[in-house]
Structure 1
Amino acid sequence: MIKLKTAICNELNIQFPVIQAGMAGTATAALAAAVSSAGGLGTVGAAYMSPETIRNSIREIRDRTDKPFGVNLFCTKEQGSMAGFEKVQHVLNRFRKDLGMKETFDFEKPPQIFEEQFQVLIEEKVPVISTAFGLLPPDKMEQAKKAGSKVISMVTTVNEAIAAEKAGVDIIVAQGSDAGGHRGTFDIGAHPNGANVGTFSLVPQVVDHVTVPVVAAGGIMDGRGLIAALALGAAGVQLGTAFLISKESVAHPVYKKALSESTEESTVITKSFSGRPARGIKNTFIQEFEAAAEPLPFPVQNALTNDIRKAAAEKNRPEYMSLWAGQATRLLRSDEHAAQILENIMEEANQVLS
């Protein structure tokens, strides 16, 4: 098997230049450990986890592997407005009724727990801290470096990449609009639907404006995508959707089925579930909500829709679930272990170069 050692392999002490994205809700300790054990960098999506759960996940990974791994957090000061709450709740109650749930009109804003989450990463001395939606504040960056952690940040524009390098980030992930789920756009006010620059337009421009290693993300599923990214100057790739249907993924079975049946035409960028733009498979929730109301800002909208998404999963109703997915789903391989997915990518890369 080809080894393809690049700058991020040396920086992160990994065998292959492949990072598994820290997808909140689905990138658990089991998936992260499997990817890390296989030679990539596994990442726990800890943004919605309690500090205690994060600590337990870190320790679970260390029980499963002695390889490096990462933990991803949302790094944003967004508070969210309640303006328009009644109208949004009215629409959501239609969905609740269809799911056999009780209507609700009460709501409490989710607590801000970033400080506590981050402290766990410092105490546990995690090898890699990755951030989305923004950068670590200077004091947090200093703490991370003192703890011996490498810092990775997701960006969606060249200006964000330049800011990330100035802030002390070790590796930059350039996320194209092809990517599934939430991308790391810093300022949603300036880019209401995210900074929608395609992966292979974004990557070389970021590479030309920073000196730290750049990782390509968005619509990359196989060895061809890896080699293409390297040709554009990237030092590796970050994959999310590719690992969602792995055996280690905790994505719901109907979610995995929807992924395997989707195409490059299936996804849209929507704020309906969370209040932040995210790419997912278009379904009843997205269509009907967007026709009826404007979502509240993140994280309020995300908290408001949480009970619906959970109930939909319990009842096997994908039409009300957030089915995050990138644009290259025809390339997905179903029912494989994460290690096999990674091995296939590296073998395909070898074939491209041979």
Structure 2
Amino acid sequence: MSSALTDLFPHPIVQAPMAGGVSVPRLAAAVSEAGGLGFLAAGYKTADGLYQEIKQLRSLTGRPFGVNVFMPQPEYPGASTGSPGAAGAAPPSGAVELYAHQLAGEAAWYDTELGDPDSGRDDGFEAKLAVLLDNPVPVVSFHFGVPDREVVDSLHRAGTFTLVTATTAEEARAVERAGADAVIAQGVEAGGHQGTHRDLPENDGAGLGLLSLVAQIGEAVDLPVVAAGGIMRGGQIAAVLAAGAAAAQLGTAFLATAESGAHALHKQALTNPLFARTELTRAFSGRPARALVNRFLREHGPYAPAAYPEVHHLTSPLRKAAARADDAQGMALWAGQGHRMARDLPAGELVRVLAGELAEARAALSAGGGAR
């Protein structure tokens, strides 16, 4: 990674931005204070809410941090977000309405109403970008597509480093053409939403494993790579660094920390034997996202349409009602494949433990031994 960017954080450890109230200012501050790179998630927030969180984070730490932004979703059919191939296929006519009908029993069970699927597709992108240009932050990353070159250039003029998620070598080339400073290689092991630029039903579950992806992207572009997906231990960080990555991004590992804003049941479920595995599902949002398998996923995943963010808006009241009822079986329990290795530690201590494990692994590899 360019020295100017690595100088921002001593340890090659990035806390993944987890939308939905998980990546709160206290979590990002704790990670940055410990020498990693903490991140806020702008997804699903208002522009003012983002501004207030940035203000709060700056009151907690003077160290560098990042903000993640969701790219606008194209209007159907055939619209473009400005990045090549960013548009997804339009869902079949009536698919969202049919899914709403199938979820009527859930709404009755939780004594709530389904959400409005037409609540908006751009997640307030322009307003959030304005916040980030008026109040520049050290790092901004993008998910669900590639911003226009003009957007990247404007952030560069503000002194902001830019990173963009890619799930294939082809997507990484688009990131490079846009002028971004680094690419986040997201393997299929990652928890939460896959950051694919083009959302096609035939690609469900067809993502690349992280080590293969890091190698392919490393050969495809001349950009620093941040590896993301299933990383829970310092030895795994050493492995992706050895494979060519400049840093590792961890989400599920930080979801379990005390500073995380995740629901207590979500944290507990990571290591609960009742939630033994994860699957990619469209059940909660309409886009492939990795979650712990629970009742909602099993019952609704098989027929959930490829329609993001319509399905996200539709199921939002259900997920909130399940959380209020302390019912983990109805919640979106985002988690990566390494979830059973989650540790109940303060975020700053976790960074220090990971850094120590990384140092041990590097020493063992240098000596010709194994790494944990």
Change (3 A) 1:23 1:302: same
Query: Does structure 1 residue 324 correspond to structure 2 residue 320?
Result: no
> 1:237-294, CA deviations, whole angstroms, 9 ceiling, x for partnerless residues?
0000000010100100111111122599510000111010000001111111135x33
Residue aligning to 1:229: 240
Change (3 A) 1:105 1:94: same
Give secondary structure in 2 for the equivalent of 1:257: helix
Query: Does structure 1 residue 68 correspond to structure 2 residue 64?
Result: yes
> 1:148-200, CA deviations, whole angstroms, 9 ceiling, x for partnerless residues?
10001111001111111111110111000000001211001375426510001
Query: Does structure 1 residue 300 correspond to structure 2 residue 310?
Result: yes
2:250 to 234, 239, 257: 239
1:13 to 8, 12, 28: 8
1:337 to 334, 340, 346: 346
Letter of the 1:181 counterpart:
G
Query: Does structure 1 residue 59 correspond to structure 2 residue 69?
Result: no
The two structures, once aligned, show a CA RMSD in angstroms of 2.0
- Rounded to whole Å, the distance in 2 between the matches of 1:267 and 1:328 is 9
Letter of the 1:51 counterpart:
A
1:35 to 31, 34, 58: 31
Query: Does structure 1 residue 285 correspond to structure 2 residue 280?
Result: no
Give secondary structure in 2 for the equivalent of 1:208: helix
Maintained 8 Å contact 1:216/1:238: yes
1:110-189 to 2 correspondences below 5 Å: 110=120, 112=122, 113-189=124-200
Residue aligning to 2:281: 270
Report the TM-score when normalising by structure 2: 0.88
- Rounded to whole Å, the distance in 1 between the matches of 2:46 and 2:152 is 21
Query: Does structure 1 residue 219 correspond to structure 2 residue 230?
Result: yes
> 1:115-163, CA deviations, whole angstroms, 9 ceiling, x for partnerless residues?
1111111111111110001111122112111111000111100111111
Maintained 8 Å contact 1:183/1:194: no
- Rounded to whole Å, the distance in 2 between the matches of 1:9 and 1:243 is 25
- Rounded to whole Å, the distance in 2 between the matches of 1:172 and 1:225 is 19
- Rounded to whole Å, the distance in 2 between the matches of 1:262 and 1:219 is 18
Maintained 8 Å contact 1:153/1:169: yes
- Note the C-alpha offset of 1:330: 2.3
Maintained 8 Å contact 2:117/2:309: no
Letter of the 2:100 counterpart:
Q
Q: How many residue pairs were aligned?
A: 346
Task: Point out where structure 1 has 5 or more consecutive residues left out of the alignment.
Answer: 1-5
- Rounded to whole Å, the distance in 2 between the matches of 1:311 and 1:77 is 26
- Note the C-alpha offset of 1:85: 3.1
Letter of the 1:259 counterpart:
L
Residue aligning to 1:3: none
Maintained 8 Å contact 1:262/1:329: no
Report the TM-score when normalising by structure 1: 0.92
Residue aligning to 2:271: 260
Maintained 8 Å contact 1:265/1:327: no
- Rounded to whole Å, the distance in 2 between the matches of 1:353 and 1:12 is 20
Identity rate of aligned residues, in percent? 38
Query: Does structure 1 residue 47 correspond to structure 2 residue 43?
Result: yes
Letter of the 1:120 counterpart:
V
Change (3 A) 1:72 1:189: same
> 1:303-343, CA deviations, whole angstroms, 9 ceiling, x for partnerless residues?
00000000011110111100000001222111x11011111
Maintained 8 Å contact 2:117/2:311: no
